[in-house]
Amino acid sequence: MGTSGPGKPKRRYYVATLTLVVMLSLSPSVSWGVSKYFENLRERALNQTPEAVSNLPDAPAGVPRSDVLRDYAPQSVAFESTLDRLQISAERRIRLLEIHWNLYLTSRRTLGKSKTSALLKLLHQELGNQDVTAGRRSVFNSPEVALEQVNTWLGFFHAVQNQSFGSEKELELFLNDHSPIRLVPSQVLAQRKGILRAARAFRFPPAALAGVVDNELSGTDSAYGLAGKLRNFTDVIALRNAQLYGSSGVTGNLSRTVGIAQMSWEDSLLQKPRFASFGLNVSRFPSNEAQARLVLLKADQNLLFTASRLRGYLNAALKKEPLNSQIVTSAEVYFLAPAWHNSPEKAQKGYTWGYAWNAFFKSCLYEFLLARKPKS
């Protein structure tokens, strides 16, 4: 009876893998189409934001405190300057100034001073990008739409903060039913310890990492999980090829990023100096693609490497040395971290786009949720 040579099983595996690659090369577009279909159905069913949570809290009555007026003054100047560049007419300008002032008061009351300052910086950047002569990408096509979206989020935050929840299940249902966009709070909060550990290890606010994780998980959870199943499958195939042949080869093109926060395996190999700078153990640091992919498939390790990469980007964005290890507390990281995580090129050019915009508001929400003591 003949026996197969030692090279035949590998060849059969390689042929099978190539076949799967051809099949999967079409799947991302199919997955995207199916995802969009189901997302549209969900938005229609929920009408995006239910009226019950769209009402904003009442603006503070009376004359604002002197510190509130003082803090708002530079924001008002920047906003009016942006309206000038957008060539907003007088009547429209008056209305926008009124909305901006009320938004500031509401945000300060709902989110606090630090996050309000970060929010207005993000809004200023978005409105500046709406100037077509700037040549930068924006999320919305008018100041009115951007301000409306901010107010929708503020109404949602106000409702969450002032609603009484008898159990974690009630909280989850409320968030899922009333959030302005898709959230996966149960999946993110299931990783609470890992998120806190990773962000604290690299000394930046954990909520910024939570916002990134929600963005990534909500994408893989769409279309009844089809996108996630496809991603997991390609990750496993790429890992097996890397283990067998030392490189994932063609399959790696379908699995450039891995795991819960979609960390790049190539970038993970570059984190060793930062791990050392922050005093983390590097004795078993991955040294090749197979080892990196295997590590990143573990949620707690993926979060740790993602946090390291984010800290490097934050140092660049905040004009710090690459291995700077001082504590970062600014709420600006709530949009800087996801922007650089998703697209360093767009972040460097000052673009605003949906991924980073949504992650900022998600991070504001998760700051509240991570600090909240879970109920049994």
| 241, pLDDT greater than 70 | no
Q: Looking at 21-25, 122-126, 333-337, which range is the least confident one?
A: 21-25
The pLDDT value given to residue 100: 97
Across 113-137, b (16+ Cβ under 10 Å) vs e yields: eebbbbbbbbbebbbbbbeeeeebe
| 195, pLDDT greater than 80 | yes
| 1, pLDDT greater than 50 | no
Residue 179, strand partner residues: none
Q: What percent of the chain has pLDDT over 70?
A: 73
SS3 readout for 333-363: HHHHHHHHHHCHHHHHCCCCCHHHHHHHHHH
The pLDDT value given to residue 35: 41
- The Cα 344–Cα 180 span in angstroms is 26
The pLDDT value given to residue 341: 97
Categorize the per-residue pLDDT at 173 as very low, low, confident or very high, splitting at 50, 70 and 90: very high
Q: What is the overall mean pLDDT for the chain? A: 83
C-alpha dihedral sign at 353, 125, 367, 168: negative
53 near 155, Cβ under 8 Å?
yes
| 55, pLDDT greater than 80 | no
SS3 readout for 37-67: HHHHHHHHHHCCCCHHHCCCCCCCCCCCCHH
| 26, pLDDT greater than 80 | no
| Mean pLDDT for the stretch of residues 78-89 | 95
| 156, pLDDT greater than 50 | yes
Q: Looking at 46-60, 88-102, 243-257, 261-275, which range is the least confident one?
A: 46-60
| Mean pLDDT for the stretch of residues 362-366 | 98
Q: Looking at 165-174, 308-317, 326-335, which range is the least confident one?
A: 165-174
Categorize the per-residue pLDDT at 66 as very low, low, confident or very high, splitting at 50, 70 and 90: confident
| Mean pLDDT for the stretch of residues 358-368 | 98
Enumerate residues 6+ apart whose C-beta is below 8 A from 292: 265, 266, 268, 269, 286
The pLDDT value given to residue 219: 72
302 near 258, Cβ under 8 Å?
yes
Q: How far is CA 93 from CA 51, 130, 346, in A?
A: 27, 15, 29
Nearest to 289 by CA among 252, 254, 259, 250: 252
The pLDDT value given to residue 243: 63
| Mean pLDDT for the stretch of residues 203-221 | 91
Categorize the per-residue pLDDT at 284 as very low, low, confident or very high, splitting at 50, 70 and 90: confident
- The Cα 171–Cα 186 span in angstroms is 10
- Domain coordinates in residue numbering, the chain: 8-47+183-371, 65-163
The pLDDT value given to residue 239: 62
